Amino acid sequence: MIEIENLSKRFTLHNQGAAVIEVMTGAQLRVARGECVALTGQSGAGKSTLMRMIYGNYLAAGGSIRVGGLDVTRATPREVIALRRETLGYVSQFLRVVPRVPTRAVVAEPLLALGHAPGAAFARAEALLAQLNIPERLWGLSPTTFSGGEQQRVNIARGFAHGYPALLLDEPTASLDALNREVVLSLIEEAKARGAAIIGIFHDEAARARVADREIDVTGFTPRKAA
């Protein structure tokens, strides 16, 4: 479902003496349907960078990233937008929403964007919010004022509202209590069971051991420093 070949990434900082920073080279990765692959490596090794490249948020310097047949590195913005709407979900560590939009609408939005009827979309959103233990009295409020843990659960609900065939999860269990961590892990297991290909970053080792089928250490993709 996700096939990464010989991927490289560099940042050119034009306003800092045109410094060129090579951050990744020769990255290879394949994730099949129903499989969860955990990215490992120290902080700064490039886990989030790789994830952002798969999502089309960062441009690749070379190589290819195929998600459901579309090469994200060569796709037009319009194709990437369609991929993100239909095929590729991303639960980031940050919730970025229009202020004042109620939580249930934030969670239902991916379904509405796919043309689902509002009734069904909101019902699905509310079921997920309940499952993730967001109190019902908060559903009509904007999540911008919520605690970090609540925002993260809203983000997860939004990411799991549509059954994406491919999912990127950046620290989905960080800052969650045991109860909600369990809910998130079971959501991940359900997604795998329905055939989703998942790439995750989990600092929580027990969580990683439970849901990940394989680990890839991205340190192997870090360019060797010139002598």
Partner 1 sequence: MMERALSILSKEKPQDGPLLQVEGLTKFYGARIGCADVSFDLWPGEVLGIVGESGSGKSTLLSCLAGHLSPDRGRVIYAGRDTVSMAEPERRMLGRTDWAFVHQNPRDGLRMGVSAGGNVGERLMAVGARNYGAIREAASDWLGRVEISPGRIDDRPRQFSGGMQQRLQIARNLVTGPKLVFMDEPTGGLDVSVQARLLDLLRGLVRDMGLAVIIVTHDLAVARLLAHRLMVMKDGRVIEAGLTDQVLDDPQAAYTQLLVSSVLQV
215 with 208: CB under 8 angstroms? yes
Q: Which of 160, 152, 167 has its CA nearest to residue 96?
A: 152
Smaller CB distance to partner 1: residue 40 or 87? 87
Q: How far is the CB of 38 from partner 1 (least distance, A)?
A: 23
Residues with Cβ within 8 Å of residue 105, at least 6 apart in sequence:
122, 125
Structure tokens given for 142: 């904007």
Decide: helix, strand or coil at residue 23. Answer: strand
For the bound state, the minimum distance from the C-beta of residue 51 to partner 1, rounded and expressed in Å, comes to 12
Closest CA to 101 of 149, 133, 144, 157: 144
CB of 179: closest distance to partner 1 in angstroms? Answer: 32
Which positions touch partner 1 (CB under 8 A)? 11-15, 52, 56-59, 77-78, 80-81, 96, 98-101, 112-113
Q: Which is nearer to partner 1, 56 or 143 (CB)?
A: 56
Report in angstroms how near the CB of residue 123 gets to partner 1 at its nearest: 19
Determine the Cα–Cα distance for residues 160 and 192; give it in Å rounded to an integer.
12
Give the shortest CB-215-to-partner 1 separation in angstroms.
Answer: 26
Would you say 12 or 28 has its CB closer to partner 1?
A: 12
Nearer to partner 1 among residue 11 and residue 186 (C-beta): 11
Report the residue number, 94 or 178, with the smaller CB distance to partner 1.
Answer: 94
**Cβ pair 114, 86 in contact under 8 A:** yes
Question: Smallest distance from the beta carbon of 155 to partner 1, in angstroms?
Answer: 15
Nearer to partner 1, 56 or 89 (CB): 56
Contacts by 142-145, CB closer than 8 A, 24 or more apart: 142/97, 142/99, 142/100, 142/101, 142/102, 142/103, 142/106, 143/95, 143/97, 143/103, 143/106, 144/95, 144/97, 144/99, 144/100
Q: Round to whole Å and give the CA distance between 142 and 220.
A: 41
Residue 202: CB partners within 8 Å, gap ≥ 6? 38, 169, 171, 172, 173, 208, 211, 212
Q: Closer CB to partner 1, residue 54 or residue 188?
A: 54
Least separation in angstroms between residue 96's CB and partner 1 is 8
